Amino acid sequence: MKLTILFGGASFEHEISIISAITLKEKLSTHELSFIFCDQDHKFYLIEPSKMRASTFSKGEHKKMPQLSLTNGYFEQKSMFSSTKHAGVVLNLIHGADGEDGTIPSLLDFFDIKYIGPRVDASVFSYDKRYTKWLCEAKKIKTIEYEVLSSNEHKNINIQYPIIVKPARLGSSIGLSVVKEESELDYALDVAFEFDRSVIIEPFICGIKEYNLAGFMAKGEFHFSIIEEPQKNEFLDFEKKYMDFSRSESVAKAELNSTVELKLKSTFEKIYKNLFEGALIRCDFFVLNSEVYLNEINPIPGSMANYLFGDFETSLELLASSLTAQKRAKTNYEYIHSISKAKGK
């Protein structure tokens, strides 16, 4: 399989995207891989695979590598007398803003480039946690109760303490705080508002079970990973999640009864259908008293959740082979011609 991994982006999760790309280089070593880095100025660079290490980017060495531009159907490397096309399926591995907010999907759609990843509408509903809540309400999927606060308004919180405060449009637990009493709230809000002007408030439920399930649809069928029960202390903080982005070894399957497992998979299907086609996503669920609640949708999970799949390479090949071409409107100027003809022009 020929695959181009697109990573980087201008977001708070920029470095995490780099770690994910390096991990996939090792995981997909038998494939023909290209690496395109999007820097924080939105310039694209073709990265030599042997240079795929963190220091290449932290030291700015990528700026010495070929710069690319987008044209219809591919990325292009131009020189004084020729140009080289870099075609093939693109794997959108840009976490957070740019990659998951719809910007990169829009760009790839505009230039008619095939890619693995969420489309624009899927990005909108998964990137912003407020919209995810609204999506679940429309699809009758249970979520934990919540309130929304914005940086330009002040109001009392009705949810009882302890609570979780998190930015509405950020992942990897960045800016997230557990607030146990009212005296801690202002500081937690200040932290969250550093990253977003809107925050989500949810109750912190001690001892609630959490499960992660990844999957995708290919050729009309769902393909699921194992279900993982992530190991955590009080909650999955940034350090724990950051380490997860570099994971490549398989993890143990969670011990679940068949009823709960079926509920998790059927809820995943309800979320995915008619929205996330073309993407491999991971859903993080809560289970309380045998009821399933969606916590978050990860439209571009860390390292593509490779560690949850028994045969990740084959899964990715299957998804890539099932991508459908985008339908474009055909323009023949029939309407304009008819008007011109009527006017005798």
pLDDT, tens only, 202-241: 999 988 999 999 999 999 999 999 999 998 655 544 455 4
pLDDT at 175: 87
Query: Which tokens go with 73?
Result: 């159907």
For residue 153, CA distances in Å to 119, 134, 170, 178 come to 32, 21, 20, 21
Query: Which tokens go with 238?
Result: 């940034």
Pick the closest to residue 299 from 320, 278, 322, 315 (CA basis).
278
pLDDT at 103: 97
Query: Which tokens go with 49?
Result: 């695979």
Across the chain, the runs of DSSP E, i.e. the strands, are: 2-8, 32-38, 44-47, 67-71, 74-78, 83-86, 89-92, 115-116, 147-150, 163-167, 177-179, 198-203, 209-218, 221-228, 281-288, 291-298
Asked if residues 300 and 99 have their Cβ atoms less than 8 Å apart, the reply is: yes
338 burial via Cβ count (<10 Å: 0-12, 13-18, 19+): exposed
Residue that is written with structure tokens 């219809």 in the block: 72
Pick the closest to residue 46 from 69, 65, 19 (CA basis).
65
Low-confidence ranges of the chain (pLDDT < 70): 172, 232-248, 344-345
Asked if residues 150 and 179 have their Cβ atoms less than 8 Å apart, the reply is: no
Q: How many CB atoms lie within 10 A of CB 152?
A: 8
DSSP-derived 3-state class of residue 113: coil
Paired sense of beta strands 2-8 and 89-92, if any: parallel
pLDDT at 235: 53
Rounded CA-CA distance 315/310 in Å is 9
Residue that is written with structure tokens 């606060």 in the block: 149
pLDDT digits (tens, 9 = 90+) for 255-311: 999 999 999 999 999 999 999 999 999 999 999 999 999 999 999 999 999 999 999
Rounded CA-CA distance 298/127 in Å is 8
Query: Which tokens go with 7?
Result: 């990573």
pLDDT at 238: 46
pLDDT at 232: 65
Helix (H) or strand (E) holding 95: none
- Please name the residues in contact with 286: beta carbons below 8 A apart, sequence gap of 6 or more: 144, 205, 208, 209, 210, 211, 292, 293, 294, 295
Q: Which residues pair with 67 in a beta bridge?
A: 45
Domains of the chain: 2-116 (3.40.50.20), 124-142+207-321 (3.30.470.20), 147-203 (3.30.1490.20)
